[in-house]
Amino acid sequence: MFSLKYKKMTAALGLLLGLYALTGFIPAQAGAEAAEKPIVIVAFGDSLTAGYLLGPDEGFVPQLQKAISEGATRPIAIRNAGVSGDTTSGGLSRLDWSIGSETDAVILELGANDALRGIDPAITRKNLVEMIETLQARHIKILLVGMYAPPNLGADFGEGFNPIYPELAKKYGLPLYPFFLDGVTAVPGMTLADGMHPTPEGVAVMVKGILPYVRDLASEIASAAK
């Protein structure tokens, strides 16, 4: 008697699972779990991303995390993969192990230290191309963050460096935030004593500027998952 009932229940369950597979129906509980899975965005950059000389809640990542979480309909996790002093060469060398398999998108912010060190812009471009192509091959979305060369390096260097970001954004179909330090550079009270790295107030300006771009990125990821 028990064996017969068990066989009937097993058959019914098998039929139900088969219908799920045919129709693409996802049980409500599974759908709810998928909706709660956070969108993982990795901020991959240098000291500007890492939060150089700032407190645990003052850097770019914690401030962006707080801002983007307000009013979000789905959890969004911003992870810090910034390394102070990193160049595009350094970023390329650590890309694979810094960007985990759970990553949905990357905020790619590298190149400032290349410019400060006077590295050949052709090298910077080549490294960014390799990072972009590697991430796209992994089906990871990218928000490219631009930088401008310091004027003291001369017009020739600027002409080689400054077009890199808009040209790569156009070539690879990427959203571009043109200048990471927009509203911060040369603005009183926005940078530390070195005149380069942002204060907590400077970071707040940076976050406010880039936030709509990151929200659009998260929305695109959420829509693609439906």
Q: Give the chain's domains with CATH numbers.
A: 6-35 (no CATH), 37-224 (3.40.50.1110)
Dihedral over alpha carbons 43, 48, 50, 51 (to 10 degrees): -130
Token output for 157: 């260097």
Q: Residue 26: what pLDDT?
A: 40
Dihedral over alpha carbons 82, 62, 52, 219 (to 10 degrees): 40
Q: Residue 225: what pLDDT?
A: 81
Instruction: Determine the Cα–Cα distance for residues 212 and 208; give it in Å rounded to an integer.
Output: 8
Q: Residue 34: what pLDDT?
A: 52
- Among the listed residues 123, 57, 62, the one whose alpha carbon sits nearest the alpha carbon of residue 91: 123
The one-letter amino acid code at 208 reads: K
User: Which sequence positions are flagged as catalytic?
Assistant: 47, 194, 197
Instruction: Determine the Cα–Cα distance for residues 216 and 63; give it in Å rounded to an integer.
Output: 17
Q: In a structure prediction context, what are the per-residue pLDDT tens digits for the chain, which is 226 residues long?
A: 434 444 444 444 444 434 334 344 444 454 445 557 999 999 999 999 999 999 999 999 999 999 999 989 999 999 999 999 999 999 999 999 999 999 999 999 999 999 999 999 999 999 999 999 999 999 999 999 999 999 999 999 999 999 999 999 999 999 999 999 999 999 999 999 999 999 999 999 999 999 999 999 999 999 988 7
Place of tokens 């796209």: 136
Instruction: Determine the Cα–Cα distance for residues 81 and 209; give it in Å rounded to an integer.
Output: 20
Model-level pTM?
0.85
Q: Residue 36: what pLDDT?
A: 77
